[in-house]
Amino acid sequence: MAEAETRAPRADATRNRDQLLAVATRLVISADAEPSMRAIAREAGVGIATLYRHFPTRESLVDAIYHDQVARLTTGARELLDELPPAAAMRRWMDLFGDWIAAKNGMLATLLAMIESGELAHARTRAELLGAITMILDAGGAAGDLRADVTAEDVAASLIGIFTVAPRPKQEAKARRLLNLLMDGLRHTAQSGQPGN
């Protein structure tokens, strides 16, 4: 009984942390400016003290959001490949990448300060994301439904370009159209990789 009682607060704490992280992510994606810590706590239905207990500073919250989104992208690649053909997995993964970009944009000022101070290892994140893209491209090449002459860097640069000119969620329809055009270019056809194509 005593053991169960000591475990219960941990479960509640984990639930509170997950809820705070989900709400904070949703707010940074949809807000025009970085939401205040108080607004995040209010939206999550917890007191400000609970928020600060889990995330003592804005930087610690931004770091948690950032790494949670990166983890979703890396594990998401594997999970999507387990469920879908590689081309369909790539298209769905692009939407996850768009969510990550939108979250980054919603906390850009804090992220830039963290990168400048060395609190955030940007190079490691880039390697993880390129690894996720490579995983899907390799599966698509083996299955014959994605071009073999495309690199992860090509895809990442294209995605950054798309979400720069069509940021989500404000230009969702335009982003979707551009992503579908990109996918058309990534699909393997009999002509793929030949000069002029």
Domain-by-domain residue ranges, the chain? 1-56, 58-189
Q: How far apart are CA 133 and CA 108, in angstroms?
A: 23
Beta carbons of 129 and 73 less than 8 angstroms apart: yes
Task: Find out if CATH 1.10.10 is the number for domain 1-56.
Answer: yes
**Which is more confidently placed, 6 or 104?**
104
Q: Which residues have C-beta within 8 Å of that of residue 192, sequence separation ≥ 6?
A: 147, 148, 149
Q: What is the pLDDT of residues 123-165, one digit of tens each?
A: 778 888 899 999 999 999 999 999 999 999 999 999 989 988 9
- pLDDT exceeds 50 at position 182: yes
User: pLDDT class for 117, splitting at 50, 70, 90?
Assistant: confident
Q: Report the run of H or E that residue 89 belongs to, with start and end.
A: helix 86-105
- Assign a CATH topology to domain 58-189: Tetracycline Repressor; domain 2 (1.10.357)
Quick check: bond before 9 cis, omega within 30? no
* pTM for this predicted structure: 0.75
Let me know: does 152 contact 134? Beta carbons within 8 Å.
yes
pLDDT higher at 61 or 2: 61
